Amino acid sequence: MLKPGKVLAAEWNKTAFDSTNIAEALKNTGGIDATESKDILLKAPESPVYGLAVQLEVTSKIPGTTSIAVFVERGLSPLVADCVLSEGAEPYMLIRTKMEETSRIRAQVKAGGKTYFATKNVIILPPVSCC
């Protein structure tokens, strides 16, 4: 864990966050030619959930990890998080994001000048109306 005095903000990738589809978001984050890796642990709900606050957890076991990004493939804005890690930072991210429909989640990791990914499907239950 980093001390508050050691945390530095990285430049924001506005183009990637403004992407409206997964192909565009991957292109804008350098993830088009990524390699699938079992060294990325992506934890997401195993059973159907309501999409108001879906918890996603990413841990990279790839040495030299410099960034972690999370995408919701069927989201209005597919890139939901992109974290550049300081040297010595633990390659871990935990976020909560809103999901409107069932979608594949993609965790993308950059390390050693290469890009890697892992995916998982998350099932979203339809909203429940009362009355």
| Per-residue pLDDT tens over the stretch 79-99 | 999 999 998 899 999 999 999
Domain range list for the chain: 34-122
Query: Helix, strand, or coil here: 23?
Result: helix
Q: Map tokens 């040297």 to a residue.
A: 87
Q: What is the rounded CA–CA span in Å between residue 55 and residue 11?
A: 25
pLDDT per residue over 58-87, tens digit each? 999 999 999 999 999 998 899 999 999 998
φ and ψ of 22, to 5 deg: -65, -40
Candidates 3.40.50.300, 2.30.29.30, 3.40.50.720, 2.60.40.2470; correct CATH number of 34-122? Answer: 2.60.40.2470
